[in-house]
Amino acid sequence: MNQANERLHSVRNRIAEACKNAGRPVASVKLLAVSKRQPAAAIEALYALGQTAFGENLLQEAREKQNEIGLPNLEWHFIGPVQSNKTRALAEHFDWVQSVDREKILRRLAQQRPDHLPPLNICIQVNIDRERQKAGAEPEQVAHLAGRAEECPTLRLRGLMCIPRLTEDVMEARHSFRAMKLLYDELVRAGHALDTLSMGMSGDLELAIEEGSNMIRVGTGLFGARPASRAC
Ligand SMILES: *Cc1c(COP(=O)(O)O)cnc(C)c1O
């Protein structure tokens, strides 16, 4: 088995084990491969093994790889901070934007999504631990944003995404994930047809799955350590 294959198997095993412990079906958790700072060849290698959803956090880097790759049925997720001058390219070249955190971005993505494409899938990013420097809507703003998103026919609101505070403290991490699940359940109860709670990464995917995540975003676990800056 080559290394990509080994890593993919190991992540899939971790997902399966976590689902088993949580009493959930394995198919209830979707795996997003976070390919930031990885070369196009690494994406192609995973694609060849059946992984089709990839996440990027820098627009220009992602566009270069998209142009280089050109495989069918590859699903591109944007997971980085969104500046308003980048929304057009995101609306044109991505299937998902998981990091929508304010109304202006929502409106621009809706206006700029080309008519010939299906609605753009979006998640509202939540600053669940209310960190000062971090992107994401405040928890109180989420219901309002969700309402606005659903008014836009060119958008399809799929759910919520978060990047909790980096911590070694399992209880604290669990608390953040649990707060996200509560927020998600509230929106569902309020009538939003959501199916995506995007939380959990290489280091904490088991905990996230235990607390109800149904999409984990895994980078280093699938690709190994990222180069410090992009390989040229
Ligand atoms: C980099 C990144 C990940 C993946 O992190 P790993 O620890 O490498 O698995 C997940 N989500 C977001 C938003 C990221 O930027």
Q: Identify the residue with better confidence: 11 or 227.
A: 11
The pLDDT-based confidence of 94 (bands split at 50, 70, 90) is very high
The pLDDT score that the predictor gives to residue 228 is 77
Residue 81, token pair as written in the block = 């901070």
| Neighbour tally for 33: CB within 10 Å | 24
**pLDDT surpasses 90 at 1:** no
Confidence class of residue 232 from pLDDT cuts 50, 70 and 90? very low
Segment 38-57 shows an average pLDDT of: 97
pLDDT of residue 136: 97
**Is there a domain that residue 201 lies in?**
yes
Q: Which of 10, 11, 34 to mutate to test the pocket of ligand 1 (most atoms within 8 A of CB)?
A: 34
Question: Is the CB of 215 within 6 Å of ligand 1?
Answer: no
Domain coverage including residue 215: 3-223
Residue 127: is its pLDDT beyond 70? yes
Mean pLDDT of the chain, nearest integer: 96
Total domains, the chain: 1
pLDDT at 229 over 70: no
Q: Give the residue-averaged pLDDT of 41-53.
A: 97
In a domain, 112, yes or no: yes
| Domain of residue 81, CATH code | 3.20.20.10
Strands (E), 142-201: 155-162, 196-198
- Residue 35 confidence (pLDDT): 98
* Average pLDDT value for residue range 8-18: 98
Ligand 1 nearest-atom number relative to CA 222: 9
Report the Cα 129 to chain-centroid distance in Å. Answer: 18
Say if 231 falls within a structural domain: no
CA distance 120 to 208: 25
Determine, yes or no, domain membership for 228: no
pLDDT at 230 over 60: no
Mutate to test the pocket of ligand 1, among 201, 213, 215 (most ligand atoms within 8 A of CB): 201
Q: Is residue 169 part of a domain?
A: yes
Q: Do residues 196 and 160 touch, judged by C-beta distance below 8 A?
A: yes
pLDDT tens figures, 67-83: 999 888 999 999 999 99
209: in domain: yes
What 3-state DSSP class applies to 111? helix
Q: Are 132 and 126 in contact (CB under 8 A)?
A: no
Whole-prediction pTM: 0.96
In a domain, 230, yes or no: no
Cα(92)–Cα(174) distance, integer angstroms? 36
pLDDT tier for residue 57 given thresholds of 50, 70 and 90: very high
Residue 229 lies in a domain: no
H helix or E strand, kind and range, residue 217: strand 215-218
Residues 8-28: what's their mean pLDDT? 97
pLDDT value for 227? 81
Q: Is the CB of 57 under 6 A from ligand 1?
A: yes
Which amino acid residue places its CA nearest to atom 11 of ligand 1? 217
Q: d(Cα 53, Cα 59) in Å, to the nearest integer?
A: 16
